[in-house]
Amino acid sequence: MPDRPMLKCPLCPQKEGPYYSHTSSLLRHVQTKHYTPTSYKCKSCGKFYHRRDNLLTHIHLHHGGIEADAPNLKERLDPPERCPICQIPLGSWGKFKKCIVMHAILDEEL
């Protein structure tokens, strides 16, 4: 039995998981699979990527490597206006993360 409660992603539809033992792991999953505070935009064609390495691969394959070392590829995205679960107004990524963690903990208590 784990020392701490397991946190279930409240955004995933599966009842069997995924589960995380650390808040940081849950938030990394949410940022990777559901919402990301940043994205990387190709300045040549406008395509967005959630990870810088995927953008650099795209630039190398489709644009001959131009911009691969260019700074300022990262763009900060606006947080969701409301929590996708309880619809409470948010306004910041910090409030979004706190709300998601609260729902993950409440899920575990049910």
Q: What is the mean pLDDT of residues 76-94?
A: 91
Does 13 score more than 90 pLDDT? no
Long-range contacts of 37-44 (CB under 8 A, 24+ apart): 37/76, 37/77, 37/79, 37/93, 38/74, 38/75, 38/76, 38/77, 39/74, 39/75, 39/77, 40/73, 40/74, 40/75, 41/73, 41/75, 42/67, 43/67, 43/70, 43/73
Tell me the domain boundaries of the chain.
1-36+80-110, 38-76
User: Taking the model in full, what pTM does it have?
Assistant: 0.65
What pLDDT is stored for residue 95 in this prediction? 94
**Structure confidence by residue, pLDDT tens digits, 26-81:** 998 998 888 877 788 888 888 888 788 888 888 889 888 765 455 667 777 888 99
